[in-house]
Structures are given as C-alpha cells and as structure tokens.
Amino acid sequence: MPPAVLITGSGRRIGAQLARRFGAAGWHVVIHVGHNPEAAKAFAATLPSAEVVQCDLLDGEAALAMIENLAARLDDWRMLINCAAVFHLDTAQDLDPAVFAEAMRVNAETPARISQAFLGQARATSGRRLIQFLDQKLLNPNPDFFSYTMAKHAFAATVKMLAMAQADPRDRVYGLAPGAMLPSFDQASEEHETSGRMNLLQRLTDPDELADAAQFLAEGWLASGETLIVDSGQHLLSQPRDVLFLARE
C-alpha cells in the first residue's frame, strides 16, 4: 500500500482539495467526514486510492477509536492533516457559551488528542508528518468569530509543544495558516471576489497554493515546529473586522 494520509474534514472545500492533491501524488487518502458518508464515498471513488472514515469530532472518544483503528491496519501511515473545523459567529462583545464549547472541542481539544494518538501509534517507514490547520487571523486579529479565534490560538500552541516532545528526529509537526481562499460562512461569491483581494498582493489566493504548501511539508524539509502562512500577505495587514464584513461595509 502507498503511504497513507488522514485528512479530517476532507469531504468538501479545502479538505477535498488536499485529498485530490495527495491522491494524485500517489498517496492512499483517508477521507474523514463528520456526516454524509455517502457523498464522501462517491468522492473517494474518484481518487486512485482512498477510503472514508466517519466520526463526529465532538465525540473525542470516537475520534481516538478512529485513530487506533487506522494505526492498527495501515502499515505506512505517514501523515495526519487536521483540517476540520467549525466556524460559527460570536463576537468580542458577546461570547456565546455554546459556540465556545463546540469550537474548543472541535477546533482544539479533539484534534490535539488525535494528534497525540497519531504520533504515539502510527507506523511509518520514514517518519511521520502532522499538519495543524490554523488561520492567518492569529496574526491579524479582529473581534469577529471570537470563539473560533480563541480555539485556533489554543490549537496553534500544540505545534511547537508537540514538535518538542518527539523523540524521533524524522517526525515533523507543522502549522499551516491560510487566509481567505473560498467563500465562507454566508458570503456570496461576489463578496468573496472583493474580500479575497484584501491582502498585500491584492489577489485571490488559489486553494492550490495551500495544497502546494501541504505537499511541501509532507516531504519534511522544514524544521519541525514551524508554521507556513499562505494568504498573499493578508496577515500583514490590520483589519478591524473579519473579511466577511469588510466586503459589506
């Protein structure tokens, strides 16, 4: 079997883009979805080597069982990409406790736990690769999507700590922080055309650029514990609100 990669949340959007890229590069792609496995199975059938696993990341124990199962049967499980996330609106003026609890569980706690399980159990012939999906807004903060951003800050802390904890120098832990690439939340396509250019290069960042970065990190050339930012310079700007609202104001 070719080297395997598990990509959480890879049934759609950016996760699916990554699945297509790694599939084309000869990897066995494990497509994780929280819901709608039938659509994911149809997608998997379009890739050279793929399978689908399902679990709700709100259920941490089920997620750990998923990792244990994969580790037991994949002979060369080289990579985990924690891409899945929830993105619900609350603000610095009004934290929503339910939104906060879900964001912390799905965007930070569960992916941190399955990262630990992957690094502790996965068998790989040439070192393991862990990529944590972050967000450029960690360096370019605004008061919108307050709980989401807090959870991403917590998740970002795992990159250097997990990197430092690995005894095998072949293992690598990375962060990957994208900017605006696809319409998000309730954003219309024409709004994305405007907000997606709110960066230093004034260009739309192609999701393929993010796939390029993930494929580069898969080779393990970058020092462990580092984070790549793929956003056409969006993180270097000061934006008072999320781009969702900047395009409407």
Listed in sequence order, the residues at least 6 apart from 136 whose beta carbon sits closer than 8 Å to its beta carbon are 177, 178, 179, 229, 231, 234, 235
Domain span at 47: 4-246
Both tokens assigned to 170: 């072949």
The model's pLDDT over 120-139, given as tens digits with 9 standing for 90+, comes to 999 998 899 999 999 999 99
Question: Residue 219 is which amino acid?
Answer: E
* Residue 153 CB coordination number (10 Å): 16
Q: Partners of 133 in the beta sheet?
A: 176
Kindly report the average pLDDT of the chain as a whole number: 96
What CATH number has the domain bearing residue 147? 3.40.50.720
Contact 210, 230 (CB under 8 A): yes
Contact 49, 29 (CB under 8 A): yes
State yes or no: pLDDT of 249 exceeds 70.
Answer: no
**pLDDT for the residue numbered 130:** 98
In terms of C-beta density within 10 A (0-12 exposed, 13-18 middle, 19 or more buried), how is residue 53 classed? middle
Residue with tokens 């800050």, as numbered in its chain = 153
Residue 44: helix, strand or coil by DSSP?
Answer: helix
State yes or no: pLDDT of 185 exceeds 80.
Answer: no
Distance from chain centroid for Cα 196: 19
pTM for this one? Answer: 0.96
Mean pLDDT for 2-31 is 97
State yes or no: pLDDT of 89 exceeds 70.
Answer: yes
Number of domains in the chain: 1
**pLDDT for the residue numbered 82:** 98
Alpha carbon separation from 244 to 83, 137, 144, 241 (Å, rounded):
21, 13, 9, 8
Backbone angles phi, psi at 91, to 5 degrees: -135, 170
Both tokens assigned to 104: 């912390």
